[in-house]
A = this chain, B = another copy of it.
């Protein structure tokens, strides 16, 4: 079968014919997003929902990082008990923390600390919203059909419960696998590696032992990470419920991942996979950038960014990078927002922001230098560009391990990287064609899906709005407690029955044996 690369989209018909109901005047969607990079991909879906003729209201705290910028959709600002400076400080402490070079073993604890500190401020914002009586009654009266939210924060799920409307979740995943736990999705520890294990899906015996241990640790981590969420939810509803209970009512989980990258595992019918939603559309490059990359010749260019959250790089580390870039033939586009650098080589262009996905889509893009954040990795896969990775925090370590295991990336420790290591790694990736070929294969499988992630996520959001939920996809497991779910009560009963039967049988046998013996003894005596 001959194949070729096509650069056009094909059309198909959708089966919303016959008896299907469709909103005519459009539905009403309440959007409760999470700030920062999470918002960057959620707004792609929000724009699509607006384009499809629905009324959308996005709730934005008055002090926010990326959410207040002008967009075509309607926003409702609400006052919060913290200032813009406090909020920016909170993000900064999160991003600064990544260069505090933690010892390997404390990585997990550092992540817990960063998460709790960061979310505590966000919860205060959530509190301001929930106790804003005027806004709450205005929202209630608006008659929304559904809430679209990121369960990284509890506000959206709480509003869904307060207004008795279904919730659509939009996320990559939650720490300690809280999302799969809440959605009752089975995760057999024999082949589903825990987030922090760094193991592949096919594990050795000792890895499986460690993985089982990590599952217990993760369960404990859920208490550390979401304990203050549980408290928040309990206080608000004055009910004995946890955050897990609250989000277990999510109608549809739109998950920003794809099994071309994640290890395949059991899923639930209400989990929809929209990995790569952020690399769908590409715009032409601005003139100066286009000139810079086109002028890179056959050597091509490199894109270097540590994500929108990380801005401050220690001067010593930055120097190593500059030194390395001086020694390579490629041009380099570096998203850099730290202190001004001196002696920047001619082949390096520093920028405060760069159109990452548009650049990765350029045929001359040779290497993507990234921290392994969830957005960047899918843009890398999508555009088939091999990577040099510098994991910083959270799930990035695990992301990077997977890419390295697939032979499409190399990884370096940013805390003690040297210019020599950088040059060697970059040259290896550029010269060993295997990196590019394997990445292209990943890319082809990733892109070969029946519906685009944007259309798919918009469809399911509309579905929830049309049918007031997706109750036919909700498993009955949600109504079982831990003992019932694992059938421990049933197993207990069966064991009891078996033991009783065995005991009665044994007693009967003993009784019969004794009678026989007695009879014989009596017979002997009488004889």
Contact = CB atoms under 8 A, between A and B. Distances in A.
Contacts of A106: none
Interface string A142-161: 00010000000000000000
A447 B14 contact: no
Contact of A473 (B259, B473, B490): B259
A145 B205 CA distance: 36
A443 B26 contact: no
| Residue with the greatest number of chain B CB neighbours at <10 A, chosen from A18, A456, A473 | A18
Given A1-B28, A259-B473, A477-B191, A17 B266 contact: no
Interface string A173-189: 00000000000011011
A473 to B, nearest CB: 5
A263 B476 contact: yes
A512 to B, nearest CB: 30
A267 interface: yes
A449 B190 contact: no
Given A11-B12, A21-B3, A494-B209, A267 B267 contact: yes
A5 B23 CA distance: 9
Nearest to A203: B476
Contact of A2 (B9, B25, B267): B25
A401 to B, nearest CB: 16
* This chain's copy number in the assembly: 2
B201 A266 contact: no
Contacts of A467: 444-445, 448
Given A477-B191, A487-B189, A4 B25 contact: no
Contacts of A268: 264, 266-267
A265 interface: yes
A445 B11 CA distance: 24
27 contacts: A1-B465, A2-B23, A3-B21, A3-B24, A6-B20, A7-B17, A10-B16, A11-B11, A12-B12, A15-B449, A15-B455, A19-B382, A186-B186, A186-B188, A188-B485, A201-B476, A202-B476, A203-B476, A208-B489, A208-B490, A212-B487, A264-B270, A264-B473, A264-B474, A264-B475, A445-B472, A448-B467
